[in-house]
Amino acid sequence: MNANGKALILNGGEGLVKIIADRKYREVPGLHIIGPRATDLISEGALALRLEATLDELITTIHSHPTVTETVREAALHAEGRAVHTKN
């Protein structure tokens, strides 16, 4: 969350979004969300689990800016080694 502008404003960027993905099919069987607006972000995670979403599907989903929800996309990008705002 320390690379997300909205999270920085809300609580100094403390927290994280961690996505667990299958190596072969890139499916998302789980994720952890800690930080500002975590209770709002978890609905996107729950939907991803319910729909058996892949990393690519999370990445290509539109995440409005500036919002904390962008951290979910950034975490999916990071899982693929393509993060934009954090080290890979």
* Rounded Cα–Cα distance for residues 49 and 64 (Å): 21
* Marked catalytic residue, from 63, 65, 78, 85: 65
Distances (CA, A) of 30 to 13, 54, 65, 66: 22, 11, 24, 25
**Is residue 63 annotated as a catalytic residue, yes or no?**
no
Q: Are 26 and 56 in contact (CB under 8 A)?
A: yes
Q: Which residues are catalytic?
A: 65
